[in-house]
Structure 1
Amino acid sequence: MTTPAKPTKNFRFVTGNDPDFFKDKKIVSANRSFVMFQQAKKPCDGIDPLKPQPQRVEKASKRCDASRPQPRTASIPAGAVTETPCPPGMSSDDALGLFRGDRRARKRLVDRPQPNQRVLNQILSLKAEDLPFATPNATDMCSFYALLQTEAAQGVLASRGKLTDGQLLFEAAYEGFMSTFPLRVVGSPHDTFEVLPKFKGDFKSSMEELKCHCSATFSCPNLGRTWIPKATSSKLSFLSTLCISAAHLDAMRGERSIWAPLMGQMIPLLRIMTADRTLNTSDQAIISVLQVLLGTMIACQEVSSNIHWQGLAQLVTLRGGLLQLDPVIAMMISIHSVESSILSESPIVPEYLEFLRQRRERSQPGQPIRYSPLYSNQVELMELRHDPYCSHNTYELLCDIYSLTNLISIMRSPIAELKNFQSLDDMEAERQSICARIACLPSAFSGDSKDLSRRARIVRYRFESCRIAALIYSNAILNGCSFSYAASQITPAFASSVKKDPAPRQNGRNTRSDSLPSIYRNRPVTITSYLKQLLARSDTSGLWGPLSGVLLFVALIGGTAARENLPVPTSATDLGTDSYNVKDRSWMAAVAVRCGVQLGFEYQGTMEKTLVALADVTRMSERCDSAVVEGWRASQEPEILEKSLHDGNGSLGNTSAPQTRFTEATTNEIHIERVSEGWPSTTGQADPSSIDWGFLNGI
């Protein structure tokens, strides 16, 4: 065992209590001289060592300091520098030990404060079920790190398992008797997601995963500038952002393992916050409720969503209406309220719709345009021909959707009453012609789709998604019914001809395709499940770029059509189950909400005009929906109807509303039959694959 070397003259230690002391020119010059010339004093290989030359040191110091005006001082020999008086500091032995790595604990100049015993008792009696939302008391403040040094705090850590200091700090602040750190997380040196509590139960996701998913899915520049500072200004509004991320992550995975336990923790906090009169009128309270609402919209919980929207309306009323709120908050409330009403097919709140009508958002110069088939005219849509992911067929289809929407708005406007009946008949004939042209469009996969590049397949998937959404949209306009009922009337003639995967099954389980987003191939096919499969394969990571308004339209139509509020026709009872429809609807609702968030912050005009136009069509369909439903039920269940009429409790109502049936013809034709009298039938030539759903073979 070797003993440590004794202090020698090979090291020179300079100690001081002030950092400016080491910047003194005398000290710097002496250190440089020691390093450069001290080694010359040692004998080396029998050669006489060089003698030190103080004159060189003096000239070198003068040459280095020539650019700085300095007072005249006498030259200091190199050997006399060690005798320079220094302020009292660390001794040479301590410095040598510090250099060798033998660090010694220094005495604390200030003792840590002793913790309050009453606070420790409260920490020991913490329960996860009781989570009061209270402001900390000044008398209960104490040092967090002082608590960690006590035996009682160590017992808490041992009883709760592996908890970090940040998590214990969050739990203490959660109860309201310690520091207010979680209330102000911006600018804190702590990791915000590290101090979140661990939820009980089978929580399959971590806070870091939710954070990354939220940032990658919903982040955009304007959201970071206008929304994030408000959303992170309070504890509850910050935690409510996780509801959106958890619901979206569950929808993409097709499960509800994250959103459900998270909502179980958020609802008691919302109830306590809304009961406090000092908190329920703040911007943070409104933001918290709105972000929780977005999670319920993605999860397709209509009952909970309606309850939360009523509560949010009360909070807005307490503030004095939308005009008394922050413009960004008022805009997001109006956008998502109309979007939620469209997805759930519920009545639209007139105040929110009028707020969107009256907004005039000016586009910034140089900002790219996001096109939508509901308001972009044909001149604006011509720019899409330069998009590599927009084919010519997609461009023509979007022009037909715009023409149909514009025609409906003119026919339902007061201006149409001033025109003669001949012009109204012409517009009605044009409407039927557009709907027939959309119905006769061939599938994108009617031909050979093998050996296509990924880009070519994405172009076909996007066109096919727009075609299916346009088919539901035109059928709803033609019949004057809801989108869900219109989708139930469009059934594939050969649903059993779905192409299976060429790969064999393993262990009796369903195989998946590895080329694009995986789906089950042997599940029953409905028009909404088919639309969801198309969207999943059309690369929605970038929201279709310039076609983001088109993606919003398709997602809203698909999410509404998957609602299935009507019974399934008897001829198509084997086409789907509720579990499939809920997953498909939740997936498309998640895409619609994501489009609403990003377009609402970046392109307000696209979002507002799309929702206003779609809301007008939805409100127009609500007036005829009840009559169509009763007429359909009468044709499907005559014995139940006869029994109800015999009992005196049934009513057919007005069954004269127009209704459309898409039937398979014996020849290569598609017949669009008008059920009621006075509506001529329209026949159009089309490829047989567009009626027998032969495009399913191309997937």
Structure 2
Amino acid sequence: MLPPPLLSPMRPGKLPFDGTHYGPFKSIGKPFDPFRTIPQVPYVQVSVEEMKHHCSQVFGTRAMGLHWIPTLIKSPHAFLSTLCIASAHMDAINNRSRDSIQTIALQQEVIHKISQHFVNPSSQVDDFNIIAVTQLICSEIITGNDTVLKYHEPGVEKMVLLRGGLDKLGVNGRLASTLTWVSLESAILRESKPRNMYLDYATDHPCRPYPNTATIPESPLWCPRSDFETIKRSPRSTQQMVDMLKDVRQMTKVFLEEDKFTSEKQRDQQLRSLYRKITFPSTLPEVDTTTVRTPREWAYEVCRVAAVIQATAMVKRVPLSEAFVQIAQSHIQMEPPIQIQPSPSLSLSTPTTQNPSISPFRIDSPVHSLTSHFDSHQPPFLFTTPPTSHSHRPPKRSPSSALLTHIRTCLENSDLSDAWSDLTGVLYWITLILGAASSTANNASTTYGISHLEREEGVVNRKWIRALGVRCAIRLCFQHEDPVLKTLRAAVGVVQTCADGGRGERMVVSQGQGGGRQEQGMGKRRRL
């Protein structure tokens, strides 16, 4: 018997209109809502129907329809705040470095309606107002508007405190968990410390046991069973990918659970051993650079990039963003791009660029150690472009920009039509690690004198990665609430402990099925 899918389909079976075929030049009509019953925005540039359709295609799941939508449709501004996310996502996949008029108009309308509800004491901190602010923050995570987030995040925290805490929120606990994952993801992508209220909620949230037959969003950050049962049986994975993810999982546990070791030296030795396995594999598969690569090969490559960045940050006790720059500067040799045919399975719900097939660099030369501890050379990435003459080389680009473009190229060619299906948990891990790692990529590369266009490209690519991460979270959170919270809690541990340089507050994370929290020593040790 086949295992169940990771996400239940939005609708079981075919609907009548699925079998209807329309000839050329025939339209089903723009007005999905001819009687204007859906809440509207007083701006002619905003098509609520278009945003609603995009939202359902990109984020929609059956669990969302059961647990979230019934509440949204009871409030105009809660509903419109959902479209803010859809519009921000559309901006990202259409390569807009700045918010579109449609996104700005939707956000302004939602903010206006939130302010109107503040006038009435009975609606100031009701579920609908908190939902609207939460989803507004989610859209701002995609746009990367840190200045606005600094106002809205403390504001929603005060609203929750006035309600009596997260446990007092409604929607059968879904509002508390949604606000928690939005807030934790926002902090992770900015490499900032999340608020204790959300850390405590994610830490104390129980996680039920799962049989080996269950299909769950496993990743190196969360694996409640003894092995990657879902990943192993996925047709999208390979044995190489499984082995690498196991090494990252083990290294993450060693890095965060330092109390299990008799000495710091013993722990460092194990970290270094795992680091070498991840970053210095003894053999790599031979790839024919003249042929089109499969989505599985592209997926493996981007997994490997995320693994190398996370492993480097953990073993050197540096922030993920610093590890990103170190790897980019030390390992990238620029070459002209090679044209690769994109996957034919890309669809409307797949974020794409105008030219998703370009891989604009190669990594093919041995480099010296980045620190005195590591004296082995870095092997080539899986995919390289054939050498060309120097006369046709493009202008030099900053290494960080090239690495970020390579990451997006790999993801776009890996077939994102269903967010990697039963490997959505792995894709979510990638977006968290690479989203945090690339948060300041161009800022750290000022010595290269990057151009305005290159800086704009970096903004577009980072926004695109954040949009993909939000898409994964929304698709997962209503059916796999516990795994999303536990994944984010572990990601906070990695990001914060790396940022602290291995000192200060430690995030002790266990990837088992239990819950609970522990406090020890000079600082808090929070245990999943």
| Fold similarity call, TM over 0.5 | yes
Structure 2 gap segments, 5+ residues each: 1-30, 342-351, 361-393, 505-528
Match of 2:487 in 1: 610
Structure 2 residue 273 is the aligned partner of structure 1 residue 433? yes
Match of 1:380 in 2: 227
The 3 A distance-change label for structure 1 pair 442 and 199 is: farther
Pick one of 191, 199, 202 that aligns with 1:356.
Answer: 202
CA offsets, 1:628-673, max 9 Å, x none?
A: xxxxxxxxxxxxxxxxxxxxxxxxxxxxxxxxxxxxxxxxxxxxxx
Q: 1:192 offset after TM fit, Å? A: 3.2
Structure 2 residue 416 is the aligned partner of structure 1 residue 535? no
User: Partners of 1:238 and 1:370 in 2: how far apart?
Assistant: 28
User: Partners of 1:520 and 1:502 in 2: how far apart?
Assistant: 8
Output the TM-score relative to the length of structure 2.
Answer: 0.72
CA offsets, 1:488-517, max 9 Å, x none?
A: 1112545421324499xxxxxxxxx99984
Match of 1:344 in 2: 190
Give the 5 Å matches for 1:80-479: 190-193=35-38, 196-199=40-43, 203=45, 206-255=47-96, 256-257=99-100, 258-326=102-170, 327-362=173-208, 367-376=214-223, 379-411=226-258, 413=259, 415-416=260-261, 419=262, 421=263, 424-441=264-281, 447-452=287-292, 457-479=294-316
- The size of the alignment, in residue pairs, is 418
Pick one of 422, 439, 447 that aligns with 1:546.
Answer: 422
RMSD over aligned CA atoms reads: 3.1
**What is the letter of the counterpart of residue 530 of structure 1?**
H
The 3 A distance-change label for structure 1 pair 378 and 450 is: farther
**What is the letter of the counterpart of residue 192 of structure 1?**
T
Q: Highest relative contact order (Cα 8 Å, sep 6+), 1 or 2?
A: 2
Match of 2:337 in 1: 499
For the residue of structure 2 that corresponds to 1:496, the secondary structure is strand
Structure 2 residue 424 is the aligned partner of structure 1 residue 562? no
Output the TM-score relative to the length of structure 1.
Answer: 0.55
- Whether the 8 Å CA contact 2:298–2:411 is kept in 1: the answer is yes
- Whether the 8 Å CA contact 1:247–1:299 is kept in 2: the answer is yes
Q: 1:447 offset after TM fit, Å? A: 2.7
For the residue of structure 2 that corresponds to 1:192, the secondary structure is coil
The 3 A distance-change label for structure 1 pair 347 and 443 is: farther
For the residue of structure 2 that corresponds to 1:497, the secondary structure is strand
The 3 A distance-change label for structure 1 pair 325 and 548 is: same
User: Partners of 2:141 and 2:230 in 1: how far apart?
Assistant: 33
Identity %: 26
Match of 1:124 in 2: none
Structure 1 gap segments, 5+ residues each: 1-166, 168-187, 504-512, 628-699
**What is the letter of the counterpart of residue 435 of structure 2?**
G
Q: 1:533 offset after TM fit, Å? A: 1.6
User: Partners of 1:561 and 1:578 in 2: how far apart?
Assistant: 16
User: Partners of 1:448 and 1:379 in 2: how far apart?
Assistant: 36
- Whether the 8 Å CA contact 1:528–1:561 is kept in 2: the answer is no
**What is the letter of the counterpart of residue 262 of structure 1?**
L
The 3 A distance-change label for structure 1 pair 430 and 483 is: same
User: Partners of 2:285 and 2:40 in 1: how far apart?
Assistant: 49
Match of 1:483 in 2: 320
User: Partners of 1:363 and 1:541 in 2: how far apart?
Assistant: 30
For the residue of structure 2 that corresponds to 1:499, the secondary structure is strand
Give the 5 Å matches for 1:54-69: none
User: Partners of 1:279 and 1:324 in 2: how far apart?
Assistant: 15
Match of 2:5 in 1: none
Please tell me whether Structure 1 or Structure 2 has the larger radius of gyration of its CA atoms: 1
- Whether the 8 Å CA contact 1:444–1:464 is kept in 2: the answer is no
Q: 1:604 offset after TM fit, Å? A: 1.8
CA offsets, 1:50-76, max 9 Å, x none?
A: xxxxxxxxxxxxxxxxxxxxxxxxxxx
The 3 A distance-change label for structure 1 pair 565 and 536 is: closer
Q: 1:549 offset after TM fit, Å? A: 1.0
User: Partners of 1:476 and 1:582 in 2: how far apart?
Assistant: 23
Q: 1:451 offset after TM fit, Å? A: 3.7
- Whether the 8 Å CA contact 1:480–1:625 is kept in 2: the answer is yes
Match of 2:380 in 1: none
**What is the letter of the counterpart of residue 296 of structure 1?**
E
User: Partners of 1:273 and 1:559 in 2: how far apart?
Assistant: 34
Match of 1:95 in 2: none
